[in-house]
Structure 1
Amino acid sequence: MHLLQLFSRSDITKYTRFRQGEIKFGERIQILSNLEHCFTELKENDSKYVVLGIPEDIGVRANFGRTGTATAWENFLSSFLNIQHNRFCKGNQITILGHLDFTEAMDAASQLDVNQKEDRKQLFKLVESIDKEVSHIVTQIVKADKIPIIIGGGHNNAYGNIKGLALGKAKSVNVINFDAHTDFRPLEGRHSGNGFSYAFEEGFLKNYFIFGLHENYTPKSVFDSIKAVADKVKYNTYEQIRIRKEKSFDTELLAAQKHIDNSFYGIEIDLDSIPQVASSAITPTGFSAERLRQFIHFFGKSKNAGYLHICEGAPNLDTEKNSHLVGKLIAYLVTDFIKINSEKI
């Protein structure tokens, strides 16, 4: 709990641009006041969604990626708290819990060279410590009968999200992942490329579907690993849907739904699947942001949707004039999820 920094009234003032005649999310969003009893307080409030920030890029560093995902949380807040509170989406449905403060771990990671074997092992250990914190917080949110919305950090945090949802529901869970990569790499030590394989190996993840995989960036060994568990892990590729047109986007939504909507599931969104979005593995080709929004609308409507995680955005890697766009995109995705999911009782 000592790493959790509660979002405060002064934080709301810091990020919200108040304007006469308008009501911003920042003026209606719910916050918690007591760190020691925050989850009891959370259980008693009337929000349905809990937003948690994970500003770190240690998992990305350990996976030989470009750092910068630690900057997505604040970037998101600047957009999210200035959304209009209106009949389409209401701020009081949401509690901003705050963020996990990994400053010390980030400082330690910055002194390590991923190309040195012993240093990389230390990075793995740091990621394991992040896993413990994330899974604990997500478990508590789920046990409070709320839906976690997790922002920022690398895709290593999928492991903590999956474990947290599974522990909170006392059963293994499923996941749909909108991603250019499987993140189903070998169990060589924790990093952003193997959160799902670790969760699967440890029994927290049951059925897994990767939507829009990029064929050029998936090793044969990973395809072989997936083939060995083909009844549990399924995928389609971006090239099958948009380039060769062997499959249709809408039909594949249904195929993925059939695989994962028989139990609680997490919705994982990796922003490096959207062209030109500043991220640790930016891509020039892929599904549009509009398609991603439709994807979230489709999977967010189920009563089994257990959490939403949006990761790998790295605003500091964008141009200075466009550095706000990653946070603005994330805010759109979050409200798309809330709008459709809040229709469910």
Structure 2
Amino acid sequence: MVSLDLYTSEYLLSLVKQREGETKLGECVQTISSLDHLTDATAAFVLVGISEDIGVRANYGTPGTSTAWEPALKTLLNVQSNRFLSGKELLVLGHIGCSNLPEPTIGSLQQEIEDLDHLVNGVIAKIAEAGKIPIVIGGGHNNAYPIIRGIAEARKNAIHTLNIDAHADLRVPLGRNSGNAFSYALRDGLLSKYGVFGLQQNYNNERMLELMDQMPEISAVFFDDLLTGSASILDTWTSFIAPFEFPGLEIDLDSVAGVLSSGGGPSGFTLNEIRKIILNSTKSFSYLHLCEGAVKLVDGREDVNTAKVIAYLITDFLKSQNNQGINPVFPL
């Protein structure tokens, strides 16, 4: 079973360490009691968590992505509200959770992902139809598919998406998992342009490479080429995203070196390089999806800093979009 739990302001305040003489984001963010009230909210951005790792399990990955949302939310809510970011531009909707399957098989996991797809799709479509920008914290990268579908349905057109990722996630669309969200989106006509930035040569199979060569909708920059080229990462990114119109922004945390994630490793972008990309991006984005991060993996590895990584990327995104006039920062 999958379900959406909406948050109250009282619950969010219970996560905030309040201090006299200062204000935290959690004291300023908005909440609603029903999806029908999205249009009543003045916030331009809507934050949703997805607590699951069924997509990772179905892709034979290391589970643990379900552990990222709650610590990331608590960290975000305790960021200072100040002249740089007030918090009033953000509505914290709640989180989508999945039940634990007693003895999961690949088939039962795939069915659960399809149920999750349906719920995420509906929630994202409602957010977009209300004129808001979704910010989604995963969970596995399987959730990119229903997010893309929700945005495409709201706009009644295929969309553009940029993905900062070590993996193209173009595995064969024969049962949903965290490795084939974009295969399904392309197959179903939901993506008219898909760009992947930071692919690693060691971790993309030949079939995917051939598919990227054959499909004009797909463009890619390999991390290995960034290491050998003379252009800066930011300059390459700026040129790469130029043809994309109002794209979604996907950031798989396995692209950031040293961040605990289901498929992470020692080589990749630094956190500050990703922050620089976001803060200097000149695009207005249709959504932000941060996925695959974990605070604890089932193999015993732990890193509480993943929550702070996610909080940095959310606040950077809000500041970047505010600076482009998506939603002027509200006065304190």
Q: TM-score range by the shorter chain?
A: over 0.9
CA distance in 2, matches of 1:222, 1:23: 48
Q: How far does residue 78 in structure 1 lie from its aligned partner after superposition?
A: 1.5
Partner of 1:332: 312
1:200 is matched with which residue: 166, 186, 200? Answer: 186
Partner of 1:259: 243
CA displacement, residues 293-326 of structure 1 (integer Å, 9 cap, x when unaligned): 1222234x423x1000000001013999974311
Moved more, 184-193 or 246-255: 246-255
2:48 is matched with which residue: 52, 71, 80? Answer: 52
Q: How far does residue 328 in structure 1 lie from its aligned partner after superposition?
A: 0.7
Instruction: In structure 2, list runs of 5 or more residues that go unmatched.
Output: 327-332
Superposed counterparts of 1:102-181, under 5 Å: 102-103=98-99, 107-108=100-101, 111-112=103-104, 119-181=105-167
CA distance in 1, matches of 2:199, 2:106: 27
Quick one: structure 1 residues 337 and 128, their matched pair in 2 at CA, closer, same or farther if it must change by over 3 Å?
Answer: same
Letter in 2 for 1:175: T
Q: How far does residue 75 in structure 1 lie from its aligned partner after superposition?
A: 1.1
Conserved 8 A contact 2:55-2:176:
yes
Instruction: In structure 1, list runs of 5 or more residues that go unmatched.
Output: 113-118
CA distance in 1, matches of 2:279, 2:125: 24
CA distance in 1, matches of 2:300, 2:279: 31
Conserved 8 A contact 2:234-2:277:
no
CA distance in 2, matches of 1:122, 1:61: 11
In the alignment, structure 1 residue 11 sits paired with structure 2 residue 7:
no
Conserved 8 A contact 1:159-1:196:
yes
Tell me the TM-score normalized by structure 2. Answer: 0.93
Conserved 8 A contact 1:55-1:102:
yes
CA distance in 2, matches of 1:6, 1:64: 31
CA displacement, residues 73-115 of structure 1 (integer Å, 9 cap, x when unaligned): 1010110000000010011111000011212xxx11x512xxx
Q: How far does residue 122 in structure 1 lie from its aligned partner after superposition?
A: 2.0
Q: How far does residue 121 in structure 1 lie from its aligned partner after superposition?
A: 2.0
Quick one: structure 1 residues 318 and 277, their matched pair in 2 at CA, closer, same or farther if it must change by over 3 Å?
Answer: farther
Conserved 8 A contact 2:198-2:222:
yes
Superposed counterparts of 1:272-291, under 5 Å: 272-291=254-273
Identity %: 37
Letter in 1 for 2:191: L
CA distance in 1, matches of 2:4, 2:197: 32
CA distance in 1, matches of 2:178, 2:299: 24
Letter in 2 for 1:337: F
Q: How far does residue 196 in structure 1 lie from its aligned partner after superposition?
A: 0.6
Partner of 1:245: 229
Matched positions, count: 325
Partner of 1:306: 286
CA distance in 2, matches of 1:321, 1:179: 21
CA distance in 1, matches of 2:58, 2:76: 30
Partner of 1:115: none
Q: How far does residue 173 in structure 1 lie from its aligned partner after superposition?
A: 0.3
Partner of 1:63: 59
CA displacement, residues 269-300 of structure 1 (integer Å, 9 cap, x when unaligned): 0001111111101211111001111222234x
CA distance in 2, matches of 1:87, 1:123: 45
What secondary structure sits across from 1:326 in the alignment?
helix
Conserved 8 A contact 1:39-1:144:
no
In the alignment, structure 1 residue 210 sits paired with structure 2 residue 202:
no
Quick one: structure 1 residues 64 and 320, their matched pair in 2 at CA, closer, same or farther if it must change by over 3 Å?
Answer: closer
Conserved 8 A contact 2:16-2:77:
yes
Q: How far does residue 44 in structure 1 lie from its aligned partner after superposition?
A: 1.1
Q: How far does residue 40 in structure 1 lie from its aligned partner after superposition?
A: 3.0
